[in-house]
Every structure is written in C-alpha cells, then in structure tokens.
Amino acid sequence: MIYLIIFLASLILTYFIKNHAIKKSLYVEVTDRSSHSTPTPHGGGIAIAITWFLGISYFYFTDAMDSPLYLALLVGVIISVVSYVDDLHELSAKVRLFTQALVAFLGLYFLGGLDSLDLWFFSFENQIITNIFAFFMIIWFINLYNFLDGIDGYAGSEAIFLALAGYILLGGNHFLVLVFAVLGFLVWNWHKAKIFMGDVSSTLLGYNVAIFSVYYANQEAINLWIWITLFGVFWFDATLTLFRRYKNREQLSQAHKKHAYQRLNQSGWSHDKVVMYSIFVNIVLFCLVYFISNVFIAFFISLILLYTIVKFVDSCKTFN
C-alpha cells in the first residue's frame, strides 16, 4: 500500500508542479544544444525528491531501514534544495562544487567512510586512500547523472533500472521507494515530455547511486563493482566523452551535445528509441553481474560491450 501511495503522490505532485511551472513561465528554452524542439516546463524532480525523502523516512521510523544509510541519504536534501535554486537562478560553479563536496563529506561521515577498495588482485585498506576515492566518486556521480539528463525518460528509466536491480540483488525497501517515486514522475516525462526533471532531482539521483555504492561496498567489497557495472551506461558515456573533449582541447565547462545518447538522437533516433535501447543494454549489464560469479570478469566484459556501443554511435554520428 505504501508504494501505491508513493506512486500516486509523485504522479499528482508532478502534475501540479507542471501546471505551476507553466503558470509562472518556468520553461527550459530551446537552444542549439537542446535535444528538444519546444520550450518545456522543468522542476518535476521536486516530486521525486519529496516522495523519496518521505518514503525512506517512513521506513526508517518503522525500523525497516538502517540508520547510517538513512542519514547518508537524507543528506541529499541539501543537494536537492541547492540544485533547485540553481534551476531557477543559475548558481556559480563554485557554489555548486562546494555543495557537492559538502554532501560527499557528510554522506561518507554518516556511512563511516569506505572501508576498503577491492581491485581484484589486491585491495586498499588505507582509509585515507579509500575515502579520497569515495569522495571524488560521489562528486563525479552527482555530475555525470546531471550530464546524462537530456532526453525524455532517459534519467528516470535509469533510476528505475538501478533501483530494481538493487532490490533484486541486495533487497531493501528503499529501492522500491525510489522505483515508485520516479515512476510517478516518469508518467509525465515520457516522450514527449510534459515536464523535465531538472537538477533538483538529477543531482539527487546521482548522489543516491554513489551512496548505495559505498554502503553496500562496506557490506561486501565487490558490491562496489556491481554498482559500477550496473551504472555503466551513464558513467562510461560521461567519462569517455569528457576525456575525448579534453583531448580535443575543448572548454570542459561549456555545454555540448556530444554524449552518445545525444549523438544518436542527432543521427535520427527518436527519444523513445534511444531510451528503449539503453534499457536493453541495462538488462544485459544486469545479466552479466547476475550470472557471472566473478564480478571483475563481468565488469571487464561490460567495458568491452560499452566501448563497442560507443564505436557504433560514432558510426551513426561522428564525435567532432
């Protein structure tokens, strides 16, 4: 019953947020870097954030959720609030980075840091090394999720996939809370989108994935690589694109349309087609970690798969 309430609350909240955004003319304007042809209201991710925090709070106060995980996830309120202000007024890069660093620090504090970093043949137990890695991983996940929120249904479907995969592999009511909180929003965001998510939720989702990665890695070190493999569609595209732009000596802070999903859309693929194929790739990644007992082998196979996909995208729309 609680999940139905979360879904309906997210669905209805998104509807009212959409109408409010239209009334207040809170639109994402079309530019030469947009993947959309018409101005569209934004801020729908507020519904995800509200229902997410209420949902996990319900399970925490009914003793169905671990305290360190709840407190670490609750830190996401900070990134959501600041990101919403950024949606409205475009904050400076320094403010955004400071906020990301703050939530990364607080999230790690409540989780007790990252215990170890397993690299197959050896592992790091030094807390300085492991926590520096985790700190920058959280910041990177926040940003890359924001980078990949660019076409209808893409960021939302990724969140639902990750939450479902987490629930199947690891259990936990919080995963189902995320599924239904995002699903209510996704009804209004599927192509053609009636409203966009906005930074208020895309940064939160990236933060959540990072916190899940650290929390479950502390239970079993190889879980970190399971999360990294499952998150492959997003982090591989964002990281490789950033590296290629760096090689081209581009200004990295400048907006662009060079991510794989954007180039597929430019080559003629509809939003729906890109999202459906990404879901298929995600299912393949899930099968790798589910059926292959050695998670490192699954990870390396996923790298080969993802690189092959990028080369296919290059053949559709060259990277220049």
Render 171-204 in DSSP notation, one character per residue. --HHHHHHHHHHHHHHHHHSSSPSS---HHHHHH
H or E segment to which residue 118 belongs:
strand 117-118
Q: What does the block give as tokens for 247?
A: 């090689």
Inter-axis angle of helices 295-316 and 223-230, nearest 10: 20
β-bridge mates for residue 123, sequence order: 118
pLDDT at 34: 55
pLDDT tens, position by position, 71-94? 999 999 999 999 999 988 888 989
Residue 308 has pLDDT above 60, yes or no: yes
Q: Within the chain, what is the greatest distance between any pair of CA atoms?
A: 58
Rounded average pLDDT over 131-152? 91
Query: Which residue in this structure is represented by tokens 């926040």?
Result: 142
| Cα–Cα dist 52/185, whole Å | 12
Q: For tokens 């599927």, name the residue.
A: 190
Name the more confident of 253 and 96. 96
The confidence band for 122, taking pLDDT boundaries of 50, 70 and 90, is: confident
- Whether 196 and 14 have beta carbons less than 8 Å apart is answered as no
Residue 205, pLDDT > 60, answer: yes
Average pLDDT, the chain: 91
The span from the CA of 277 to the CA of 302, in Å, is 16
For residues 266 and 36, give the distance between their C-alpha atoms in angstroms, rounded to a whole number.
11
Higher pLDDT, 203 or 31: 203
- Who wins on pLDDT, 157 or 20? 157
Neighbours of 309 (CB within 10 A): 19
Q: What is the pTM of this model?
A: 0.94
The confidence score (pLDDT) of residue 159 equals 96
Name the residue range of residue 293's domain. Answer: 2-316
Minimum mean pLDDT among 53-57, 137-141, 197-201, 202-206: which range?
Answer: 197-201
d(CA 230, CA 209): 10
φ/ψ region of 31 (left if φ > 0, alpha if ψ in -120 to 50, else beta) reads beta
| Predicted local distance difference test score (pLDDT) of residue 273 | 92
Rounded to 5°, the CA angle 130-133-139 comes to 140
Structural domains of the chain, count:
1
Q: How does strand 27-28 pair with strand 123-124?
A: unpaired
Mean pLDDT of 279-287: 97
Average the pLDDT over 166-177 and give the result: 95
Secondary structure percentages of the chain, helix, strand, coil, to 5 = 70, 0, 25
14-58 pLDDT, tens digit each = 999 999 888 877 776 656 555 565 777 878 899 999 999 999 999
pLDDT score, position 102: 98
* Mean pLDDT, range 281-300, rounded to an integer: 96
| pLDDT confidence of residue 31 | 60
How many helices (DSSP H) and strands (DSSP E) are in the chain? 14, 4
Res 20: pLDDT? 86
Q: What is the pLDDT of residue 279?
A: 95
